[in-house]
Amino acid sequence: MAQEVCSLKAQLREKEKEIADLKNKLAQLEKSHTSTLELRDRVTPLTPLKAKASLSNEDIMRYSRQLILPELGVQGQLNISKTSVLIVGCGGLGCPLAQYLAAAGIGHLGLLDYDEVELSNLHRQVLHGEDNLGQAKALSAACAVRRLNSTVECIPYHLQLSSENALQLIQQYDIVADCSDNVPTRYLVNDACVLSGKPLVSASALRMEGQLAVYNYHGGPCYRCLYPVPPPPETVTNCSDGGVLGVVPGIMGCFQALEVLKIASGQGSSCGQQLVIFDAQDARFRCIKLRPRQAGCVVCGENPSITHLADYESFCGSAATDKCRKLNLLSRDQRITVQDYKSVMDSTEPHLLLDVRPPVEVDICHLPCSVNIPLSSLEERKIEHLQLLQERIRQVKQQMAGDCLPPVYVICKMGNDSQKAVQVLENLSGSEVDSIMVKDISGGLMAWAKTIDPTFPQY
Amino acid sequence: MAAPITIHLEFGGGAELLFSGVKKHHMTLPSQSQPWDMKQLLVWIQQNLLKERPELFVQGDSVRPGILVLINDADWELLGELDYQLQDKDNIVFISTLHGG
């Protein structure tokens, strides 16, 4: 009996030690797991990749279907596993790119994005899910990539790429992929890649079109060789204004993954002096032969004047985000607030509410009594629309007493186009149509949805 | 006199929105004493196709920054840019650079 008690106590002690050891092991594992996925808000040095001398049996099985391609082979796979890639922007391009690079066994994957996941991102930014709303995109993408391939070392950066941090960050990577969504960042990434001698796999997408090129690679041009002067800010359209079919950046991001993997494995990219243009409507790719590196280029030419990174937002005249700009074209007395318009509506004062959005957006949502004439029709002075306008102005006039000018309130989505429309209408007033009193509704339908009617859809 | 030539014009990347959203234009350029070059083509486009807001397409005597010109699927820089002399059945593409991601 006493012997049995002793033996059981000894067994218990042993099991308790085993449990303690297991707990310890688990804690350590969990610690290392979260530490590698620790979101970074500044640039820190990367731990160098240990070059693999050979593939493990697990590697061989995991990558077997690409390993047996003569274009890749064991050496190509080993090369991929020791390559580090920085993805600038974890959006519509960055998500599929990160996914395929991780799946293919890339070594280090830097994932950079300053933004958080929003509901309107999910149709194209396919690494983020409903559970990630509000989360940093870099972290959300890193977690998704980790589930796919835990052997890939992911470094999520929740920060805005800037002149101060770009060089330090980019110098640590072998290949850079530009998946950003704005002009200043594209120039910044380009210059940082030229100054640190890194190939830049760049793509962009909007509406039903995509473009791709590899810059600063094997004697080919850099972004500035092709576009020495930034476009006027008013000619640049972002995805929230112009729209984009999710699969279009998906295709372009996959194309970027292809070129990155070709460079990483040692095959080399075929897009070094070539622009690929994708037209989703016609289902057509077009390959354009580009100019070579330009001797006169200010950053990669023979006598470069750009030797350090400068202020890219002032160079481009726009902010380094794709958030919509707020125009201020009118004086205060030419604009009313949504609250003011609500009072006009409630007072049943005769007026005309003109919605100047394109018909496709009016189909999504509109205020009940609005008349739709798109800004472009006003700018082009389309006859049928001017007639409609004139007719509606007359109707308002008939309901009014006295000699007051008929009030016309102009609305759009955000309050930018409506300001332009007010300017056009002021020119039309008294000449092509009867004299009117025209005012912009500041902040547009989105302000209406936020402050007056929470049931009104936002898009 | 140079005989009239037919060319295929294409606009993309959003540049087509300046031309009523029409991407492809099959055009005949009238005969003139000198052969047509790109510089003259830009003027012709401005006078015949571009209805509104020319500043969104041209700047000075060239295209505005952010528009890439392709002649028969090659960057026009390789072919002399504004001085390139148009040939019958040339394919000229004006493509606006995209920035979205």
What secondary structure, in 3-state letters, does B32-98 show?
ECCCCEHHHHHHHHHHHCCCCCHHHCEECCEECCCEEEEECCEEHHHHCHHHCECCCCCEEEEEECC
Model pTM score: 0.87
The verdict on A291 and A401 lying in the same domain is no
- Tell me how far apart the alpha carbons of residues A395 and A238 are, in angstroms, rounded to a whole number: 38
Residue B19 lies in a domain: yes
Q: Is A254 annotated as a binding residue?
A: no
CA within 13 Å, CB half, B96: 28
The verdict on A303 and A339 lying in the same domain is no
User: Between A236 and B63, where is the model more confident?
Assistant: B63
Tokens of A285: 């790719």
Interface test with A, best of B22, B78, B98 (most A CBs within 10 A): B98
| pLDDT tens per residue, range A256-303 | 999 999 999 999 999 999 999 999 999 999 999 999 999 999 999 999
Q: Is the pLDDT of residue A390 over 80?
A: yes
User: How many domains does chain B fold into?
Assistant: 1
Average per-residue pLDDT in chain A? Answer: 94
Query: A206 and B66 in contact by Cβ < 8 A?
Result: no
Last residue of a domain, one of A291, A316, A341: A316
Q: Is the pLDDT of residue A29 over 80?
A: no
CATH of the domain at B37: 3.10.20.30
Q: What is the pLDDT of residue A34?
A: 52
Query: B98 and A290 in contact by Cβ < 8 A?
Result: no
The verdict on A402 and A307 lying in the same domain is no
User: How many domains does chain A fold into?
Assistant: 2
Q: What is the pLDDT of residue A2?
A: 86
What average pLDDT does range A318-327 have in this prediction? 81
Residue A11 lies in a domain: no
Nearest Cβ partner for A206 among B77, B78, B98:
B98
The verdict on A127 and A53 lying in the same domain is yes
- B-chain residues within 8 Å CB-CB of A231? 64-67, 97
What average pLDDT does range A20-34 have in this prediction? 75
Last residue of a domain, one of A286, A316, A346: A316
Query: B73 and A289 in contact by Cβ < 8 A?
Result: yes
Grade residue A136 by pLDDT with cuts at 50, 70 and 90.
very high
The verdict on A270 and A379 lying in the same domain is no
What average pLDDT does range A448-453 have in this prediction? 96
> Is-catalytic flag, A254?
no
Residue A324 lies in a domain: no
The verdict on A354 and A280 lying in the same domain is no
- B-chain residues within 8 Å CB-CB of A207? 14
Residue A1 lies in a domain: no
Q: Is the pLDDT of residue A80 over 80?
A: yes
Residue A420 lies in a domain: yes
The verdict on A232 and A293 lying in the same domain is yes
- B-chain residues within 8 Å CB-CB of A288? 70, 73-75
Q: CA-CA distances (angstroms) from residue A46 to A103, A113, A195?
A: 21, 18, 19
Q: What is the pLDDT of residue A281?
A: 95
Q: What is the pLDDT of residue A33?
A: 55
Q: CA-CA distances (angstroms) from residue B42 to A106, A303, A333?
A: 47, 32, 41
Nearest Cβ partner for B77 among A242, A291, A322:
A291
Compute mean pLDDT per 10 residues along chain B, 101 residues long, and list them: 90 92 94 94 94 87 96 96 96 95 88
| Min Cα–Cα distance to chain A from B95, Å | 9
DSSP assignment of A139-160 equals: HHHHHHHHHH-TTSEEEEE-S-
Residue B101 lies in a domain: no
The verdict on A346 and A201 lying in the same domain is no
Nearest to A249 by CA among A257, A261, A241, A237: A257
Q: What is the pLDDT of residue B51?
A: 73
A444: left (phi over 0), alpha (psi -120 to 50) or beta: left
What average pLDDT does range A399-409 have in this prediction? 90
Tokens 């799946």 -> residue: A103
- Tell me how far apart the alpha carbons of residues A79 and A99 are, in angstroms, rounded to a whole number: 18
CATH of the domain at A295: 3.40.50.720
What average pLDDT does range A34-48 have in this prediction? 81
- Tell me how far apart the alpha carbons of residues B67 and B14 are, in angstroms, rounded to a whole number: 10
What average pLDDT does range A355-364 have in this prediction? 96
How many other β-carbons are positioned within 10 Å of the β-carbon of residue A160? Answer: 14
> Is-catalytic flag, A365?
no
Question: How many Cβ contacts (< 8 angstroms) between chains A and B?
Answer: 103
Q: Is the pLDDT of residue A32 over 60?
A: no
Nearest to A261 by CA among A46, A77, A94: A77
| Min Cα–Cα distance to chain A from B1, Å | 33
| Min Cα–Cα distance to chain A from B77, Å | 6
Interface test with B, best of A276, A288, A297, A315 (most B CBs within 10 A): A288
Domain extent for B87: 5-96
Asked if the interface predicted TM-score (ipTM) of this complex is over 0.90, the answer is yes
Query: A183 and B99 in contact by Cβ < 8 A?
Result: yes
The verdict on A385 and A273 lying in the same domain is no
Query: B100 and A379 in contact by Cβ < 8 A?
Result: no
Q: What is the pLDDT of residue A237?
A: 85
Residue B80 lies in a domain: yes
Query: B101 and A229 in contact by Cβ < 8 A?
Result: no
Residue A422 lies in a domain: yes
Q: Which of A90, A95, A179, A239 is catalytic?
A: A239
Q: What is the pLDDT of residue A38?
A: 86
Percent of chain A exceeding pLDDT 90 equals: 86
How many other β-carbons are positioned within 10 Å of the β-carbon of residue A348? Answer: 8
| pLDDT tens per residue, range A52-79 | 889 999 999 999 999 999 999 999 999 9
Q: What is the pLDDT of residue A321?
A: 84
Residue B79 lies in a domain: yes
Grade residue A344 by pLDDT with cuts at 50, 70 and 90.
very high
Domain extent for A219: 35-316
Q: Which amino acid is at A28?
A: Q
Q: What is the pLDDT of residue A233?
A: 87
Q: What is the pLDDT of residue A12?
A: 94
The verdict on A310 and A344 lying in the same domain is no
- Tell me how far apart the alpha carbons of residues B56 and B64 are, in angstroms, rounded to a whole number: 7
- Tell me how far apart the alpha carbons of residues A46 and B75 are, in angstroms, rounded to a whole number: 39
- Contacting A with CB below 8 Å, chain B residues are 12-14, 51-53, 55-56, 64-68, 70, 73-75, 77-78, 95-101
- Tell me how far apart the alpha carbons of residues A276 and A256 are, in angstroms, rounded to a whole number: 11
CATH of the domain at A353: 3.40.250.10
The verdict on A239 and A379 lying in the same domain is no
**Sign of the torsion angle spanned by Cα atoms B38, B44, B48, B54:** positive
Q: Is A434 annotated as a binding residue?
A: no
The verdict on A162 and A104 lying in the same domain is yes
Residue A213 DSSP code: E
